[in-house]
Structures are given as structure tokens and as C-alpha cells.
Structure 1
Amino acid sequence: MARQCELCKKTTRTAVKLKKLRGKYNPTQKKRQKPNLKKIEIDKGIKIRVCMKCAKTLAKNNVKLPS
């Protein structure tokens, strides 16, 4: 199972990490940014993996989340 939100399909991204030395930016390796995922239970026994942005939206719309 991939590290992916099941609602909005948010997944890992690659970002360039810049290092400044003597006023110039030098190329460095790419880093992987992962989404902040959390398993929540929607109905009895049904658990899904969602990002925190979607979890906050579900909580705002009165979907019960475990505390």
C-alpha cells in the first residue's frame, strides 16, 4: 500500500534542497517530502488513511474521528 491519502490522492513529492555557500547556491541531492498521514475510522471497522488536511475537513463536517 502506497503512502497516499485515500481521499485527495496526495502522495510523496520531490524537492530540491539548496545549500548556500559564499553567496552562491550549490546543487545538492533531491529530498523526498511525504504527506502527513493518519489512519482514521469512519464507520465501525472501516479504517482509511488520510492526510491531516482531509482529517481536519472531515472533523469540521461532523464526521466522528477517534481522539
Structure 2
Amino acid sequence: MFCVLCFMEKVCAICKKKSSMGRTLVKLRGKYNPTSKKRKYPNLQWVRLASGKRVLACAKCIKRLSRV
């Protein structure tokens, strides 16, 4: 048995949304305060399409599919 997520990319199958780099900004007046970068991932969920295939889709695409 193998892990399915280990071999899959963390990308939405519908809109191709993937992770992005963000940073935290700490506002201290006149102080040097280095902050590190943080990777932000999309909210991916397993969804079954009308064809019966299971794909990883982001929450925005799931909302869009439910409206159609």
C-alpha cells in the first residue's frame, strides 16, 4: 500500500491553483525585526465529478461546481 498524496502535487485539478509564498509583517517602530517567509497552500478537497472521477479541487472551484 502506498500513500496517494505522496506522489500527487498540491494543485487544484480544475483551476491549477497551487501554493504561494507569503510573509508576515510585524510592525515595530524603528526596530529591525526580520521575518521569515511562509508558504500558503490552497484549501484542497477530494471531490467526485459527474464522470465519477475523484480529483483534488480548491474550495472556490467546489463552490463554482455547486452553482452550475
Number of the residue aligned with 2:15: 8
Residue of structure 1 in register with 2:24 after alignment: 17
Determine whether 1:35 maps to 2:42: yes
**How many pairs were matched up?**
60
What is the Cα-based RMSD across aligned positions, in Å? 1.6
Cα deviation for residue 16 of structure 1 reads 1.4
Matched, 1:54 2:40: no
What TM-score results when the alignment is normalised by the length of structure 2? 0.77
C-alpha deviations, 1:30-57, integer Å up to 9, x for none?
0010000100111364101000000000
The gaps in structure 2 that reach 5 residues or longer are 1-7
Q: Is the 8 A contact 1:18 1:26 kept in 2?
A: no
* Secondary structure of the corresponding residue to residue 56 of structure 1: helix
Q: Where in structure 1 do 4 or more consecutive aligned residues deviate above 6 Å? A: none
Give the share of equivalent positions with the same residue, in percent.
40
**TM-score computed with the length of structure 1 as normaliser:** 0.78
Write 1 or 2 for the structure with the bigger share of helix: 2
